[in-house]
Structure 1
């Protein structure tokens, strides 16, 4: 039996059904909210970033991140639970004359509502624009300062909207999650920047933009929509104070609803990559992309130590051989550069051991001098015994002798070695210089490990350090021993004068010095006395002693002895007068050094301070100091700094070096 329905009721039912299906179709076709990734970067071995949905829509914490074609599931957390990404928001407020006092009151109320809802970790700043855009407050966590700065705003003048947006983007910088909240009621009448430049600044710097259109015309709303589209945000039209406050509160809720995700850097992914983040927001599926600079990335670890060419497949599905640069040594699991540096250090230490073990490190001349010393002072112990040299050490030293032979610097070097009383001959000194070069470059590679440019710089610095440091140390040892000899010389001359007064001859007085004086005076006078016993003139032996120790005081003493031997006189009194003169000069020298001690200490501190800070920063914040050699401007700054430091060292040395 069929139920007959009146025609008019059938029409009503049909219309209702159509409306129901249309509503269902509209609901199913509702677009997903706009989702943006902000503040994304590769940092400390992790890929971190923030994800937010326009209007504060809820985002499902379960995300999927696609990197180089491989998916990685990630559980995001609410940013309020301690995000590693710094967040900054800039309020960009129109303070032109068209806003009026009522508009400023609306701004104050809306900002108060915004500050109540914004998360505590978000730093908020303020840019106001009328005829000119001005930063009223840099981003800060002190919300009281923000509200106070907003309360001081006054409306006046024209409108520089584009300048305001550009200035806000510049003030936010380039790090972390950055957003602007723009409130404007008019167009632009006074900007130096164009609308295209302001839009490009938002896109290029990845700054999210939310706009509130307050009493705007349709034409001006389109400008604000362009900013919101470029910044991945939205535009809210607000015709009254309540709507403006609601829009500001919604913007704050968007910040509060942001999720933080963190993913360990996938091995093998380097350079700039386009990643995709997928998930569910507001009940709708979404996917969004972002460019990330992975830098050098994380090296792919070897899975087998059987061979150095085992293929390894990373997330990029590319085959990488462990023997290629950027991988690791399969046996010890260290980078090739580190392994090379450690190997160089090992070879350097082996070379030093061979050089130091090459006999007693004494030349034949030194052995003969020791024999003469034994004759002069029979009880004096011999410092070392002649040992048998190995074939390797003999070859190295022989090669060193050939390299040092005929060079102009060899005689100067041997004079310094003799003055420092080091048991080295030319070939052995050459071997030590080569070992120092290897160790210097290896240590420099360990300290300044990095890319190709940094490796080249490290090798150059290590070469310079390894070549210069042995000479510096040799000069220091020679100067220290010569200075000690000069300090002892007045007492030695007093001892000679006393011996002469008791009836001793000059050779007998020198023999007393060789037996009773301290080093280095005892050894040097013993050598001079030994020369006289094999036929040399005593005055000439003392002059050679002064040349050997580079002592002006000893030259004066030798000259006084030579004059006395030629013209006659009381040699004991001459020695006493000379000793008194030298003692007074020594006293004056020490007095001058005491007066200039503050200047020398200041010089030491000023020289060591930049070097110490550089080494400390290398250890504590390497990324910061690496800019000095990874950027052209940094290289220029580094070169200028080194030159300035060298000039300062020379200048301060001349200031505190007082000749007496």
Structure 2
């Protein structure tokens, strides 16, 4: 045999040997055995990996929901006049509020002008009465309404917890609160039910509550409901934790109020002391103190003192106010 034939036979044997080496494990069952062994060894970790994937997806949904709510709250920081009126629980329209502000500004300017006889003070009274007094009144009404809501809201959450644990749907629990709770909680949950009637989902309807009630409690409730509707979970347990947090916040607020009572009493005394001294001086020596509003220099000094007292009262109020 020549060298060419020997080369062909050698290459054929090498090819046959390589093919046999590759095919033999499949024919003998070694590959199937290794796959089965690998499956048995990794079945537990694979299941745990599935659970980890589910937990990761759930955390991602929660993070996305929180990010959406944060973006919505950031947009709500610039509140319109209609939103402020709604937060105060007033039935006034924007035009009605503006008319009332103009009336208050004109009345204040007229009174100050009649008392001082100075048109500059009358202009200052117009600004104070037209912009300052209505804004302060609106803020006071809003704080009063939010305080009532904060006191009653944990009871409403407890109603939802008991209803969910008893097997009632969440919508039925909301209807119970909308019909039996105290105001302003009843009115807010009634708006949620009305929004559902118009076709919104529960999470979308609840997400509108922090717009009307800008409190951490309402924001927490909207976050819990939104996350539960999107990611699932035990709603009763989540609301139980929320109820506990709300009550602990109330306890902390009461504790802070008790600890700052001395500072608040001092602020009240310091703020009322100039007025009390002025009244006593007027009772004992009216001709002495009348120079403050009879003379031009006295009126300027009196106006400057009023501005400084207002600024000092504002600063003391901020010093004794704590965010919980």
TM over 0.5: yes
Which residue number in structure 2 is paired with residue 484 of structure 1? 148
- 1:463 aligns to 2:144 (yes or no): no
Tell me which residue corresponds to 1:355. Answer: none
Other-structure match for 1:497: 161
The equivalent of 1:412 in structure 2 is 80
How far is the alpha carbon of 1:636 from its aligned partner?
5.9
* Matching of residues 178-577 of structure 1 within 5 Å: 412-445=80-113, 448=115, 454-456=117-119, 459-467=122-130, 468-577=132-241
**Greater share of residues in strand:** 1
The 1-side partners of 2:81 and 2:280 are apart by 35
* 1:68 equivalent in structure 2: none
Q: 1:531 to 1:584 in 2, by over 3 A?
A: same
* Paired residue total: 247
Q: Post-superposition, which runs of at least 4 consecutive aligned residues in structure 1 deviate over 6 A?
A: none
Query: How far has the Cα of 1:590 moved from its partner?
Result: 0.8
Deviation at 1:486, TM superposition (A): 1.5
Give 1:612 deviation, angstroms. Answer: 4.7
Does the CA contact (< 8 Å) of 2:271 and 2:313 recur in 1?
Answer: yes
Query: Paired residue for 1:385?
Result: none
Aligned partner of 1:294 in structure 2 is none
Q: Deviations over 1:332-370 (max 9, x none)?
A: xxxxxxxxxxxxxxxxxxxxxxxxxxxxxxxxxxxxxxx
Describe the shift of the 1:455–1:640 C-alpha distance in structure 2 as closer, same or farther (beyond 3 A): closer
CA distance in 1, matches of 2:283, 2:162: 61
Deviation at 1:614, TM superposition (A): 4.1
Q: Which moved more, 1:642-651 or 1:575-584?
A: 642-651
For residues 457 and 630 of structure 1, do their structure 2 counterparts lie closer, same or farther at Cα, with a shift above 3 Å needed?
A: farther
Q: CA deviation at 1:497?
A: 0.6
Deviation at 1:512, TM superposition (A): 0.6
Gaps of 5+ in 2: 1-77
- Per-residue CA shift, 1:314-335, capped at 9, x if unaligned? xxxxxxxxxxxxxxxxxxxxxx
> Residues 354-411 of structure 1, C-alpha deviation per residue, up to 9 Å, x if partnerless?
xxxxxxxxxxxxxxxxxxxxxxxxxxxxxxxxxxxxxxxxxxxxxxxxxxxxxxxx96
Q: 1:656: Cα distance to partner? A: 0.8
Measured at CA, do residues 540 and 636 of structure 1 come closer, stay the same or move farther in structure 2, by a change above 3 Å?
same
Structure with the greater alpha carbon radius of gyration:
1
- TM-aligned CA deviation for residue 437 of structure 1: 1.8
Q: Is the 8 A contact 2:209 2:222 kept in 1?
A: no
- Structure with the bigger percentage of helix: 2
Distance 2:225 2:240 in 1: 12
Q: Residue 460 of structure 1: CA displacement?
A: 3.6
User: Normalising by the residue count of structure 2, what TM-score does the alignment of the two structures yield?
Assistant: 0.68
Specify the SS of the correspondent of 1:518.
coil
How far the C-alpha of 1:563 sits from its partner, in A, is 1.3
Check conservation: 2:207, 2:226, Cα contact below 8 A: no
Which residue does 1:390 correspond to in 2? none
SS in structure 2 of the partner of residue 569 of structure 1: coil
Report the Cα offset of residue 520 of structure 1: 0.5
Give structure 1 stretches of 5+ with no counterpart. Answer: 1-409
1:551 CA displacement: 1.5
The 1:505–1:654 alpha-carbon spacing in structure 2 relative to 1, beyond 3 Å, is same
1:57-116 superposed Cα distances (whole Å, 9 cap, x missing partner)? xxxxxxxxxxxxxxxxxxxxxxxxxxxxxxxxxxxxxxxxxxxxxxxxxxxxxxxxxxxx
Question: Structure 1 pair 538/620, CA: closer, same or farther in 2 (3 Å)?
Answer: farther
- DSSP 3-state at the match of 2:96: helix
Query: Matches of 2:156 and 2:215 in 1, distance apart?
Result: 14
- Specify the SS of the correspondent of 2:302: helix
Q: How far apart in 1 are the matches of 2:105 and 2:280?
A: 24
